[in-house]
Amino acid sequence: MAAAAGGAFAQTSTTAKPDCSVWGWIHASAADCPLSADGITFYGAIDLGRGYETHAAPFNGDAKTGVSELISKVNNRALWLGVPNGLTQSNFGFKLKQQVVPDWYLIGDVNAGFDPLSLKLANGPKSLADNNNVPLARQSTNTDSARSTGWDNSRGYVGLSNSTFGTLTVGRQNSLSNDLAVQYDVFGGSYAFSLLGNSSTFVAGTGDTELSQYNMSVKYQLAYKHLRAGVLSQVGGYDQRNNAESAYQVDVGGDAGALSVDAVYAYAKDAVTLSNYTSGAPTPDTLKATLVNISAAVVGAKYKWHAFTFYGGYEYARLSSPSDLFGATATANGQTLTLNGGYPAVVQANPYVNPKALQVAWLAGKYTILPNLDLDAAYYYAHQNTYTNAATKYNTGGSSTHTGVGCGPNLNPAIPGSVPQGANAAACAGDEYALSAVLDWRVLKRLDLYTGVMYSEVTGGFANGFIQNNNTAYTSGLRVAF
């Protein structure tokens, strides 16, 4: 994980100056030849490709992933698809680094993720609203996301940086757990090949994808020799377009030779998860809001040995009853709130009367075949306990041939004529798996060509309501950085 927000800025070389003529720029890296003037750097990346999925959902230009490589409720049939953002979220932005006094810098960063096929800015809640009142089997790719705010849907902050006293930044920023996921995932948060990248619910959002970014926050990071620490605190609540009423995270980490380790603790009060209506939406843009309190811990590690780099990590998140349901009861929806991206959402009944324990683990490796050619592979696993309300029909014990009793097999098909998937309640114990491999060839320092595959599968409560329970997604593409 970057020791400080300022660490993301390109550093001027003190040795040989790179050739940044037109020809030299093409062959140089974005860090060696940035598009900079007067302390401001324009930067970004474009990533697009083509893919085939055994159980896919149609393309949606508002969804951050564009297509659903990871198995989801709406995936249902084999498709060839244009694939945006397979290796990296396509994005553009401006960075600021300007010295104000010796060794003190004014820094800033504003960045927007977009879809290179639709040319739309990434907007998870909009992808949900696109599919309001649409039957599940006819829905396009849609997913909740913290990306919804337009020109700063990735980040938008300013701050000060000092080599001794660290970095203090204010604004829209990645959570510390998001930083950890990018640093300790071999695919760096890839949508097409990583469970952690495709679904920020896991690790980056510590149980809620909308917590992967804090819209208004203060972040302080400090590095001393081989040690580092950081703290992130949300400022305000829903009134500041945050995705929780309050939230904070703390990070500690360090390096010992070829080993790097970071650990994050996270807490959030009344965190929001959004979903859509398959029918009966009050208005075309109104969504459902589920609220939850979250306490979570995540640890990530990586170790370099010769041509190999090994990655791994573990998350434990406890999701419990929200502090305030804003008028919701066990049997009725609550009031309408204006949440992520300004979308109205109806608060749903509390599903966490018993706490949900979400556990995530991953192991991965990178083998450097040539200086510009890598083979990456990873295995991801997620598990949830049975957290059904003791007062409901789902907790009467054991499996059963009767619909809605116990956590036995689901007997209600999500789509008439389809095979029911998973357990008969989403709150039953379940697992999610993903296995992926990618060959990444850096043809030029700014250009990657890649090809790979990801297999994903859900069981038990994770699969409840799904049309299919698995997907194999083959993706090839290119990424250009500038």
Q: CA dist 279 to 139, 168, 340, 410, 420, Å?
A: 12, 46, 21, 21, 20
Q: Which amino acid is at 141?
A: T
pLDDT at 6: 41
H/E element holding 439?
strand 430-444
Our measurement of the distance from residue 216's CA atom to the centroid of its chain's CA atoms, rounded to an integer in Å, reads 18
Q: CA dist 229 to 30, 116, 165, 176, 261, Å?
A: 28, 36, 12, 10, 11
pLDDT at 296: 98
Sequential DSSP letters for 226-255? TEEEEEEEE-SSGGGT-SSSEEEEEEEEEE
pLDDT at 22: 83
pLDDT tens for the chain, 482 residues long, are 443 444 443 444 455 778 888 888 888 999 999 999 999 999 999 999 999 999 999 999 999 999 999 999 999 999 999 999 999 999 999 999 999 999 999 999 999 999 999 999 999 999 999 999 999 999 999 999 999 988 999 999 999 999 999 999 999 999 999 999 999 999 998 999 999 999 999 999 999 999 999 999 999 999 999 999 999 999 999 989 999 999 999 999 999 999 999 999 999 999 999 999 999 999 999 999 999 999 999 999 999 999 999 999 999 999 999 998 775 443 334 556 777 678 889 999 899 989 999 999 999 999 999 999 999 999 999 999 999 765 454 444 444 343 445 788 888 887 877 889 999 889 999 999 999 999 999 999 999 999 999 999 999 999 999 999 999 999 999 999 99
pLDDT at 400: 39
pLDDT at 392: 52
pTM of the shown model: 0.91
Q: What is the dihedral of CA 232, 233, 239, 244, to 10 degrees?
A: 80
What single DSSP character describes residue 447? E
Residue 306 CB partners (closer than 8 Å, separation 6+):
none
Rg for the chain, CA atoms, rounded: 22
Beta strands in 74-165 (DSSP E): 77-84, 91-101, 104-113, 155-162
Q: Which amino acid is at 150?
A: G
pLDDT at 163: 96
- CATH architecture group of domain 40-385+429-481: Beta Barrel (2.40)
